[in-house]
Amino acid sequence: MSELLELAQRVAGWARQGEDVEVYVTRGTETEVRVYEGDVESVSSATSAGAGIRVVSAGRQGFAYAGALDEAALGETLEEARDNAGFATAEEWVGLPVPDGVSAVALDLWRDELASFPAAAKVAAALDLERRVRAGDHRVRVVEQATWGDVAAEMALASSLGVVASDRSTACYVSAVAVAGEGDASQTAYGYSVGRGPADLDLDKAARDAVQRAVRLLGARQAPSAYLPVVFEPRVSAQLVGLLGSVLSGEMVLKGISLFADRLGEPVGSPLVSLVDDPTNPAAWGASTFDDEGLACRRNTLIEAGVLRAFLYDSTSARRAGTASTASAARAGFKSAPGVGARALVLAPGRSTPEQVLAQLGDGLLVQSVTGLHSGVNPVSGDFSVGAEGVMFRGGEVAEPVREVTIASSIQRMLQGVAAVGNDIEWLPSSAAGLTLAISEMSMSGA
Amino acid sequence: MAATAGSEQLIATPTLSRVLGRALATGAEFAEVFAEDRRGSVISLDDGRIEDLSSGRDRGAGIRVVSGRTTGFAHTADLSEAGLLAAAEAASAAARAGGGGAKEVGLSPSGRPKPSPVEVLPASVPKSTKVDMLRRADAAARSTGGAVRQVTAAYRESRRRILVANSEGVLAGDDQVRARFSVSVVANGDAGMQTGMESGGATMGFEFFDGYDVEEASRAAARRALLKLEARPAPSGSMPVVIKCGSGGVLFHEACGHGLEADHIAKAVSVFAGRVGEQVASPLVTLVDDGTMSHEWGALAVDDEGHATSRNVLIQDGVLTDYMWDWLRARQDGRQAPANGRRESYQHLPMVRMTNTFLLNGTEDPDEIVRQTPHGIYVAQLGGGQVNTATGDFVFGMTEAYLIEDGRITHPVRDANLIGNGPQVLKDIDVIGNDFAMGWPGTCGKQGQGVPVGMGQPTLRVRALTIGGTAR
């Protein structure tokens, strides 16, 4: 048993009669290297650790955290969580999960090679990436930043109700922001490659992505307003699919603010839309053995051929809804109590290549990046409006670049309007995978 | 608070000197210790229930060592001398410093004027008082109309004590206390649900709530949601936009604020690089960044590099006068007095950030600005925004907006983003009101780090902005 899990169990054992205690502890090491114009700009390395403690007594929940793992700090934190619980509203459904008998899928998310990968090799990788981006096209003026990053994280969770979980994972990435220029105009784009260990990284792909995306936007102009088909590249569709995770939270249904409440079993999207959240897929960035309440992660089918099949639940929202947890408890680190969240959303891929998707749609806008997702997408009303950059396509062929436009619709209409799904599934560093995704019509606002 | 206030100092001065000495032992030319002790609490009411009470403490130190063009950085949660020395060695090794011997570091404490005195530490107020406040907010929002379906209200408090010491002799600290309330209301109507929000906060103690009525704020959020039930789809295309005072500081934050940060300038990834002395905005525009602005959300005694904050005029009568600086960029440019080096926590390297950024008053009567606009959009509340500093293109969301028809504010419109290009929008500001106000407390994100910022402006009009709606 890991030392971290022993600690979690010891503290959970401090529970008093009549209360349940859950202890979530994390520890991680991370490195980040940034290079600029052939020089190492910064090297950061650090180890951090922390704990989040939940106390439930008489249907009231309190939470407290500490950025330290010594027993004195954990004792104070438990006391604070206990005190906090005294002020919460009591509800019969509030409570920690009990072991649910679902066995964990064995996932190998740890690479020893990363731990032994020398710092000098990380620096060399970042410098190498920068060189490749610069050499990628004569119009690349500068590489705003080329970065190596890695993290090795361990978690352990134990509760006085007998839930026990521990897991560990590694991840690393390289990324670069290319600035391409022609005349007075500059355009930027980033490229990256991610993996669990150094062997997974593809510097060439990262460089090519950054260069090609920046260069193809040179000469971009604001396009005239139009209603037109819109095709999202994988990294953009991953962001959009990620939004569905919150829209399909069972907690929003319970609180009466879900777009899709009362729609179970009904069509909410085009028949091309099948969506699962599957953290047991080791290819997923968000792959995880356990959810953040210590239940074994499982594959959840949310939408099947356009028909809404399920919502996501953690143990509290599930108990309130009279159903079982989908093991979808998620935390934003040790400083936050768990809530409902997706980890590994993926749309079922179609058969078409990205080129075939463009050919099928004929004319429209191919979007390579969006801005303002946090300010322009309302998961309650469904209103969707974001800034976009990309290229027009005509007769299935890529044409002139476009900037300073917005594209707008609603989440509901976009799901209904899915006209094609590409076969180019790409796992990105987020809670969702991306693939080429075509919407039959959106409103583009421009000149 | 003077940094030397004895027992209050997070790390004793002699220890700091030794840690800095160790960090410099391999020949680096600059070393810094940034220590932080942060406590925070959140109480949230959702669905009529006090659902979440969270609180916690996080403390540690980040050590930065600069050798040539390379910065080495390491952080630790262990504030003992042994923990700090280990971090200093790690940072020093990361900076790949060459030879050299141990150095003596003399530290000279500086008492800084504290812009935001605190009367009542929020942590000293009983939790029950805060819970009651949220319950009153919930009741007020629900009393506004039967169509109110859901209310989420949150109270947040934080206390952040920092201490910065560096090899240039800087020794300074700050004690930043903030309190904040926010509420979000969902109303349900025939055409679906709509949301309304309101938020208030200050760099001050619990006395903030003596002058801030959470019930009125909750009713305002509810009225916003109810009003939007009748909203039409937002227009699509370019038109004049009038932005209400105190609601749209995010416009400047995105249109030029980020583009005036010296790190973007140094790498020439800002459309404002090399343009000091040029007319970059309408002559009506004077833009200021001011970390000394008492009690505002971005107020600081010293920045996160230990330097006193200041009032910096960025644009004067439309002419670009200066950028914002942190220590690293100021050093590279041979400048003094950086005041905008900030970081999210001890686990982060500092970089150039805004504090309180605002547009100064103009002369026009705000009502007259609307009357003189035959057709356009009136924005009463903006949401967040985002900018690409290299192209200047930026977006920002409108969460309460109306059509202007024949010089009158008429129908509400649904949420949408607006898009514009910073340099163009600054030139297109054609009238500015005399009703300056600061806006909601903001959190600015840059390279994954969030810091509190203030924003403000009087009512103003932009001749043309692209509205990202769907109306045919």
A137 touches chain B (CB under 8 A): no
Residue B397 distance to chain A (closest CA, Å): 5
Interface with chain A: mutation pick from B54, B69, B75, B258, highest number of A CBs within 10 Å: B54
**Torsions phi, psi for B285 (to 5 deg):** -90, 120
Report residue B424: phi and psi, to 5°.
-70, -45
Q: Check whether residue B408 and residue B386 sit in a common domain.
A: yes
Nearest CA in chain A to B467: A445
What are the tens digits of pLDDT across the range A219-239?
A: 999 999 999 999 999 999 999
Q: What is residue B99's predicted lDDT score, i.e. its pLDDT?
A: 44
How many beta carbons lie within 10 A of that of residue A116, not counting itself?
9
Among B163, B196, B228, identify where a domain stops. Answer: B228
Instruction: Tell me the ipTM for this assembly.
Output: 0.93
CATH number belonging to the domain at A3-216, selected among 3.10.129.10, 3.40.50.10800, 3.30.2290.10, 2.60.120.260: 3.30.2290.10
On whether both B262 and B307 belong to a single domain, the answer is: yes
Q: Which whole number is the average pLDDT over A6-24?
A: 97
Assess whether pLDDT exceeds 90 at residue B139.
Answer: yes
Q: Is residue B371 part of a domain?
A: yes
Q: Which residues of A touch B238 (CB under 8 A)?
A: 445-447
For the segment A79-84, the average pLDDT, to the nearest whole number, is 97
Cα A185 vs. chain centroid, distance in angstroms? 32
Averaged pLDDT, A330-358: 97
CB A77 within 8 A of CB A140: no
Confidence band of B337 (pLDDT split at 50, 70, 90):
confident
Strand partners, B409: B404
* Dihedrals phi, psi of A283, to nearest 5 degrees: -75, -20
Number of domains chain B is built from? 2
The average confidence (pLDDT) of chain A is: 96
> Which residue among B149, B194, B466 sits closest to A406, beta carbon to beta carbon?
B466
A187 CB near a chain B CB, below 8 Å? yes
B1 within some domain? no
Could you tell me if B104 and B153 lie in one domain?
yes
- Tell me, what's the pLDDT at A57? 96
Among B203, B228, B253, residue at a domain's last position: B228
Cα B341 to the chain's mean position, in Å? 13
Mean pLDDT computed over B459-468:
97
Asked which of B228, B252, B276 is the last residue of a domain, the reply is B228
| Neighbouring C-beta atoms of residue B29, cutoff 10 Å | 16
Length of chain B: 472
Residue B222 inside a domain? The answer is yes
CA distance A82 to B175: 28
pLDDT in tens, B228-285: 999 999 999 999 999 999 998 888 998 899 999 999 999 989 999 999 999 999 999 9
Query: Do residue B275 and residue B307 come from a single domain?
Result: yes
Cβ atoms of B137 and B218 within 8 Å: the answer is yes
Spatial distance between the Cα atoms of B185 and B180, rounded to a whole number of angstroms? 17
Whether B403 is in a domain gets the answer yes
Q: Is residue B147 helix, strand or coil?
A: coil
B224 and B302 part of one domain: no
Neighbours of A330 (CB within 10 A): 22
Domain holding B147, by residue range, is: 6-228
Mean pLDDT, chain B, as a whole number? 93
Q: Where are the domains of chain A?
A: 3-216, 226-445
Best of B134, B184, B421, B470 to substitute, by most chain A Cβ atoms within 10 angstroms, is B470
Neighbours of B171 (CB within 10 A): 23
- Please give the Cα distance from A238 to A429 (Å, whole number): 9
Q: Is the pLDDT of residue B4 over 80?
A: no
Preferred mutation among B30, B236, B417, B440 to probe A, highest tally of A CBs within 10 A: B417
Binned at pLDDT 50, 70 and 90, residue B114 comes out as: confident
| pLDDT tens sequence across B431-442 | 999 999 999 999
Q: Which of B272, B419, B447 to mutate to test the interface with A (most CBs of A within 10 A)?
A: B419
Say yes or no for a CB contact (<8 Å) between B53 and A376: no
Confidence check: pLDDT of B6 > 60? no
| Dist CA B312 CA B353 (whole Å) | 13
Task: Determine, for residues B50 and A88 on separate chains, whether the beta-carbon distance falls below 8 Å.
Answer: yes
User: What are the angstrom distances between the C-alpha of A20 and each of A11, A82, A118, A327, B50?
Assistant: 12, 10, 44, 19, 19
Residue A311 has pLDDT above 80, yes or no: yes
Closest CA to A51 of A20, A28, A19, A31: A28
**Mean pLDDT on B300-319:** 97
Q: Is the Cβ pair B466, A446 closer than 8 Å?
A: yes
B214 and B244 share one domain: no
> Which residue is associated with the tokens 């438990």?
A78
Which residues is B417 bridged to in the sheet? B397
CB neighbour class for A38 (10 Å; exposed up to 12, middle 13-18, buried from 19): exposed
The mean pLDDT of A265-288, rounded to a whole number, is 97
Interface contact flag, A374 B43, Cβ < 8 Å: no
Return the ∠ at Cα B436 (arms to B420 and B398), rounded to 5°: 35
Distance of CA B125 to CAs A84, B207, B209, Å? 14, 10, 12
| Mean predicted confidence (pLDDT) in B146-163 | 97
Whether residues B143 and B259 share a domain: the answer is: no
Give A40's contacts in chain B (Cβ within 8 Å): 69-70, 96
The neighbouring-strand residues paired with B405 are B375, B408
For residue A393, what are its two tokens? 């396509």
- Radius of gyration (Cα) for chain B, nearest Å? 24
Nearest Cα to Cα of residue B66 among B93, B95, B90, B107: B95
Residues B120 and B67 in one domain: yes
How close B115 gets to chain A, by Cα (Å)? 29
d(CA B357, CA B454): 6
- In angstroms, the separation between the Cα of residue B25 and the nearest Cα of chain A is 18
User: Tens digit of pLDDT for each residue in B75-98?
Assistant: 999 999 999 999 999 999 888 744
| Integer CA distances (angstroms), B233 to A149, A383, B240, B381, B467, in order | 43, 9, 17, 17, 11
CB contact at 8 A, A293 and A283: no
**Average pLDDT score over residue span B112-117:** 79
DSSP A105-152: PP-----HHHHTS-HHHHHHHHHHHHHHHHHH-TTEEEEEEEEEEEEE
- Given a contact cutoff of 8 angstroms between Cβ atoms, the answer to whether A372 and A191 are in contact is no
Give me the pLDDT at residue B111, please: 67
Q: What is the pLDDT of residue B104?
A: 64
B417–A385 C-beta distance less than 8 A? yes
- Which residues in chain B touch residue A188, judged by CB atoms under 8 angstroms apart? 269, 388, 390-391
Q: What is the mean pLDDT of residues B178-193?
A: 96
Question: Which chain A residue lies closest to B127 (C-alpha atoms)?
Answer: A87
Which residues from A are below 8 Å from B90, CB to CB?
45
Q: Please write the tens of the pLDDT for every residue from B42-81.
A: 999 999 999 989 999 999 999 999 999 899 999 999 999 9
Smallest Cβ–Cβ distance between A372 and the set B43, B71, B397 belongs to: B397
pLDDT at B5: 39
Asked if residue B3 has pLDDT above 50, the reply is no
B191 falls in which pLDDT band (50, 70, 90)?
confident
Q: How far is B408 from chain A (nearest CA, A)?
A: 24
Is residue B173 domain-shared with residue B274, that is, in the same domain?
Answer: no
b/e per residue, B287-316, with b = 16+ CB within 10 A? bbbbbbbebbbbbbbbbbbbbbbeebebbb
Q: Name which of A183-187, B172-176, B296-300, B461-465 the model is least confident about.
A: A183-187
Among A317, A316, A318, A342, which Cα is nearest to A328's? A342
